[in-house]
Amino acid sequence: MSVNKEVKRITTHILQEMKNRGEKIAMLTAYDFSMATIVDNAGMDIILVGDSASNVMAGHETTLPITLDQMIYHAASVVRAAKRALVIVDLPFGSYQGNSKEALASAIRIMKESGAHGVKLEGGVEIAESVSRILTAGIPVMGHLGLTPQSIYKFGTYTVRAKEEAEAAKLKEDALKLQELGCFGIVLEKIPAKLAKEVSESLTIPTIGIGAGQHCDGQVLVIHDMLGINKGFKPRFLRQYAGLFDVMNDAISNYVSDVKAKSFPNEKEEY
């Protein structure tokens, strides 16, 4: 008789312990029940319900158009699947910037309506008030510095951030500020590996890198990118672990052919 081993939920406390003992943290995005089931089952530590859903699920050019309602829909689908992973949800563009009351209301809606375990916000000192308010309500907050895709029109490009001394200094300052406010971790996106190493070593909380080198305390990728579902997207930081575009394309083409050739369904597939 097989005994079901109890699955222990990853918590922010466990992530902190992982950093303390030097164990790397694995994080991936997911946006729906079926995909999140697979990701969770594979032993993921954190599932990020990213506003990248705007790109990979809805086909928008940027992350800006996705709404709070849509993020809650995706998050609720993922939470239903996740037995072990900590589920963190992006607060979408326009739901927290410049208004800490609205930020708190947005975060509360995500927690209540999706059942997620925490939220992620982009930015540093500028959003300190929003971060504080959300934390005061007992909601775990993850920061996000470096390339912050919600500010893409300000940057004008998706290139590496913080190569200049002034921007690097601000990033270090922002990271310490987010830690001081009470964030449980920070995503560092597309910054020089040397800077990411300095920041990771200067913080007691974990850093999660994407295009930020090997010295962060963990790594995150967008699942459609690492599975090769997105055909054209191949930045240097992306390691593709599968080529699912071709696998799925072949399977679907074969289905079409079989239907056209009247070979599906056959007699064994009838009632």
**Positive or negative, the Cα torsion across 128, 133, 138, 140?**
negative
Whether 189 is a known active-site residue: answer yes
Phi-psi region of 138 (alpha: psi -120 to 50; beta: other; left: phi over 0): left
Q: Among 131, 132, 113, which residue's Cα sits nearest to residue 121? A: 131
Q: Of 23, 102, 165, 189, which one is the catalytic site residue?
A: 189
**CB burial string 1-20: b at 16+ within 10 A, e below:** eeeeeeeeebebeebeebbe
Give the number of other Cβ atoms within 10 Å of residue 127's Cβ. Answer: 25
Evaluate whether 29 touches 52 at the Cβ level (below 8 Å).
yes
167 alpha carbon, distance to own chain's centre: 24
207 alpha carbon, distance to own chain's centre: 13
Q: Which two tokens stand for residue 210?
A: 């994407």
Q: Which two tokens stand for residue 136?
A: 């005061």
CA trace torsion 241, 221, 69, 153 (10° rounding): -120
Task: Give the integer Cα–Cα distance in Å for 253 and 120.
Answer: 39
Task: Give the integer Cα–Cα distance in Å for 42 and 81.
Answer: 12
Task: Give the integer Cα–Cα distance in Å for 184 and 142.
Answer: 6
Residues annotated as catalytic (active site), given as ranges = 189
